[in-house]
């Protein structure tokens, strides 16, 4: 997360002309990466002027992108022909006055029923909303009677179970908040279809991005902690219950200039490759833990999402970018 106080005017870049400025570069560390991205692929900047872009989610029914700007308490919508416009405000805090520097929604998900699911910092809950009718409903807002810290990112099992992370980034005092915080742990949780909430991990300092492997046998969680910059993995049973976690990838032991990085959000492709926001870009890691390559934006990069149009969409500080995939 990035703490930014300034509110920056939103700008759409050449939406109608379909000509976008480019930034960064593609770095390949393994021959297999050249089957994912062309070495000449361009990182196009499709939106700028955001405060802190996060939580991208592609909506297949309509072919557009949604993403959060938590400091602006807004979810934005981007379409290739129409450009960008506000989609939902407030997105994560419906109270009065100033709550925190990042009161809005963070991670977004289109669930198996086609509803928009949001991790809400300010209202401290997981919500869902019918995309046609509108109106939010709470999926979960507390654990053992206590409100969550600030739900951050989320994924869903095919059986309907949700998995999400709950670090303190959206609290007014963040880690040091002793007034609003009621749960000591920065937990990783599951929410069953019947609404039962289970803390499946209590020992991570800064849990952040979360995603399931294609066969749903493994749950991955990023830890944005410089002293323990891990991607954790947890075995998942068919009923959605989760086993004990272990370190899948340790950035402090990685080469390619990644040893000082820690991951934010992530997505996983059909081959099981992990696309993690880290080291000012998207680092692509194989299912065996090998770094394949990097999409280097050159700015702090939070997350990404696969579009049905063949692009990978990337939220990167003030920008939303995209890059054409080969598969």
Q: Which fold has domain 11-324?
A: Neuraminidase (2.120.10)
Q: What average pLDDT is seen over the chain? A: 93
pLDDT of residue 4: 38
Residue 1 is predicted with a pLDDT of 41
pTM of the model: 0.93
- Tell whether 54 is in a known binding site: yes
Where residue 290 falls among pLDDT bands split at 50, 70, 90?
Answer: very high
Q: Percent of the chain at pLDDT above 90?
A: 86
pLDDT of residue 17: 53
Pairing state of beta strands 162-165 and 154-156?
A: antiparallel
Mind listing the pLDDT tens digit for each residue in 133-165?
889 999 999 999 999 999 999 999 999 999 999
Average pLDDT over residues 22-50: 97
264 is annotated as contributing to ligand binding: yes
The catalytic site residues sit at: 264
Q: Look at residue 276 and tell me whether its pLDDT is greater than 80.
A: yes
pLDDT at 3 over 60: no
pLDDT of residue 12: 52
Token pair, residue 304, equals: 């990404």
Flag whether 208 is marked binding.
Answer: yes
CA atoms within 13 A on the CB side of 208: 25
pLDDT in tens, 204-216: 999 999 999 999 9
Give pLDDT, residue 6: 38
């Amino acid at each position: 997360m990035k703490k930014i106080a300034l509110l920056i005017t939103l700008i759409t870049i050449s939406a109608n002309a379909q000509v976008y400025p480019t930034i960064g570069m593609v770095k390949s560390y393994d021959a297999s990466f050249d089957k994912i991205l062309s070495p000449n692929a361009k990182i196009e900047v499709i939106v700028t002027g955001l405060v802190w872009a996060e939580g991208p989610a592609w909506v297949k029914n309509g072919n557009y992108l949604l993403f959060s700007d938590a400091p602006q308490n807004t979810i934005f919508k981007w379409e290739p022909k129409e450009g960008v416009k506000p989609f939902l405000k407030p997105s994560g805090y419906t109270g009065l006055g100033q709550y925190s520097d990042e009161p809005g929604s963070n991670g977004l998900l289109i669930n198996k029923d086609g509803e928009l699911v949001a991790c809400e910092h300010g209202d401290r809950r997981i919500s869902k909303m019918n995309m046609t009718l509108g109106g939010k409903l709470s999926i979960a807002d507390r654990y053992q009677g206590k409100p969550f810290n600030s739900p951050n990112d989320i994924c869903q099992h095919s059986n309907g179970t949700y998995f999400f992370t709950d670090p303190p980034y959206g609290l007014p005092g963040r880690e040091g908040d002793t007034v609003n915080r009621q749960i000591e742990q920065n937990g990783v949780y599951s929410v069953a279809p019947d609404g039962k909430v289970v803390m499946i991990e209590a020992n991570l300092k800064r849990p952040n991005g979360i995603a399931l492997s294609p066969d749903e046998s493994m749950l991955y969680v990023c830890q944005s902690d410089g002293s323990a910059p891990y991607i954790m993995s947890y075995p998942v049973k068919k009923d959605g219950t989760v086993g004990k976690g272990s370190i899948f990838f340790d950035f402090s032991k990685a080469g390619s200039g990644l040893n000082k990085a820690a991951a934010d959000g992530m997505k996983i492709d059909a081959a099981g490759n992990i696309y993690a926001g880290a080291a000012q870009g998207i680092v692509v890691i194989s299912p065996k833990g090998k770094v394949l390559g990097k999409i280097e934006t050159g700015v702090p990069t939070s997350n990404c999402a696969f579009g049905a149009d063949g692009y990978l969409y990337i939220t990167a500080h003030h920008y939303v970018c995209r890059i054409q995939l080969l598969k």
